[in-house]
Chain A
Amino acid sequence: MQDDISREDRLDWYRRMCLIRGFEEEIHNLNKAGLVQGTAHLYIGMEAIAVGACSAMNSADLLTSTHRGHGHCIARGLDTGRMMAEILGRVDGYCGGKGGSMHITDVSRGMLGADGIVGGGIPIAVGAALGVRLKGDLSVVLCFFGEGASNQGSFHESLNLAAVRRLAVVFICENNLWALSAPFAEVTAGGSVANRAGAYGIPGEKVDGNDVEAVFKAVNEAAKRARAGLGPSLLECVSYRWEGHSIFTRQEIRPAEEIQQWKQRDPINRYRARLIEAKTAASEVLGQIELQVSEQISKAIQFAKNSSLPDSETAFRNTYA
Chain B
Amino acid sequence: MRQTSYAEALNEALREEMRRDPLVFVLGEDVGRMGGLFKVTQALLEEFGPERVIDTPISEAAIAGAGVGSALVGTRPVIEFQFNDFMTIAMDQIVNHAAKLRYMTNGMVSVPLVIRAPVCGGISLGAQHSQSLESWFVHTPGLKVVMPSTPADAKGLLKSAIRDDNPVLFFEHRLLYAQTGEVPDEEHLVALGVADVKRTGTDLTLVATGRTVSLALRAAEKLSEEGIEVEVIDPRTLKPLDTHLIFQSVRKTNRLLVASDGWSACGYASEVMATVMEHCFFDLDAPIQRVCPKDVPMPVAGPLQKAVMVSEEDIVSNCRRVLAT
Contact = CB atoms under 8 A, between A and B. Distances in A.
Interface of A: 37-39, 89-90, 96-100, 102-103, 115-120, 148-149, 151-154, 179-182, 186-188, 253, 309-316, 319
B1 interface: no
Given A102-B128, A117-B128, A253-B34, A182 B301 contact: no
Contacts of A153: 59, 61-62, 89
Given A117-B86, A180-B29, A311-B303, A100 B126 contact: yes
Contacts of A98: 126-127, 299-301, 304
Contact of B303 (A120, A148, A187, A312): A312
Interface string B255-293: 000000000000000000000000000000000000000
Contacts, number: 125
B124 A148 contact: no
B302 A180 contact: no
A89 B301 CA distance: 5
Interface string B125-136: 111110000000
Nearest to A36: B124
B297 to A, nearest CB: 8
A97 B56 contact: no
B59 to A, nearest CB: 5
B307 interface: yes
B30 interface: yes
- Mostly helix, strand, loop or mixed at chain B's interface? loop
Interface in B71-96: 85-86, 89
B294 A38 contact: no
Contacts of A180: 29-30, 34, 37
B31 to A, nearest CB: 9
Given A39-B125, A89-B302, A100-B126, A312 B58 contact: no
A89 B303 CA distance: 9
A268 B30 CA distance: 31
Interface of B: 29-30, 33-34, 37, 55-62, 85-86, 89, 123-129, 294-296, 299-308
A116 B61 CA distance: 17
Given A116-B129, A311-B303, A312-B304, A182 B124 contact: no
A253 B303 contact: no
Contacts of A151: 57-59
A149 B58 contact: yes
B58 A152 contact: yes
Contact of A309 (B30, B60, B302): B302
B61 A312 contact: no
6 contacts: A98-B126, A98-B127, A98-B301, A115-B128, A152-B58, A187-B55
B29 to A, nearest CB: 7
A148 B59 CA distance: 9
Given A38-B124, A39-B125, A100 B300 contact: yes
Contacts of B305: 315
Contacts of A102: 125-126, 128-129
Contacts of B300: 37-38, 89, 97-100, 103
A148 B86 CA distance: 14
Name the residue among A38, A119, A149, A153 with the largest chain B CB count within 10 angstroms.
Answer: A38
B57 A148 contact: yes
A120 B29 CA distance: 17
Given A89-B301, A89-B304, A116-B129, 16 more contacts: A37-B302, A89-B302, A97-B299, A98-B301, A117-B89, A118-B58, A119-B89, A120-B128, A152-B58, A153-B62, A180-B34, A181-B30, A182-B29, A182-B58, A312-B306, A315-B299
Contacts of A152: 58-60, 89
Contacts of B299: 97-99, 315
Contacts of A100: 124-126, 300-301
A179 B124 contact: no
Nearest to A183: B33
A154 B89 CA distance: 9
Given A38-B123, A316-B296, A181 B303 contact: no
A120 to B, nearest CB: 8
Contacts of A313: 307
Nearest to B86: A117
Complex A-B, nearest 10 residue pairs according to Cβ-Cβ distance, in ascending order:
A97-B301, A100-B300, A89-B301, A38-B124, A151-B57, A312-B307, A116-B128, A181-B34, A187-B57, A315-B304
